[in-house]
Structure 1
């Protein structure tokens, strides 16, 4: 089971739990898809897009459970990133981790499955 990851605010995730689906961040809504990262991409995504932010969760998702709505498309440096065209059904979520901020603004990324 390939695992992909989403970084989001705790408040946005709590709202998704209440609704039963995650519809995406403001950036996701603007771009028309939900941005995800592979295990190897999470640390750089956190640094580039979430530096200095607190109150974040790292959501682990079973990529296969997303079906054809998940597409792998080139992004940063030409690397392929997973993009979901539609809502994230919470049934595909395998784990929710705290993404702890350090005093230097970076984050402690937990050991992740690929």
Structure 2
């Protein structure tokens, strides 16, 4: 069964180093700012300092509650090596009721 949601987000950042990405993911989950984090390799093409960059990066997707968006953004900014780390959020429109309740429960323990 699925359920509609307006209180959950998937928040994303990237990192250029796998070990640092995994550490950031674990630190965020330990802080209960997200119920889980997924880390995977991507290729990013972007403007930076007047030039197009093409770089291997590690994407981290965090499953969290919308009310934790600001604290999670602050945590990422404080613990990230990038001068301007990507932090974007996408609302969860629908999903497995049991999974979404698990995300709520795990982040409520904060």
TM-score, normalised via structure 2 length: 0.38
Q: Relative contact order (alpha carbons < 8 A, sep ≥ 6): 1 or 2 greater?
A: 2
Larger Rg: 2
Q: Pick the structure with more strand per residue.
A: 2
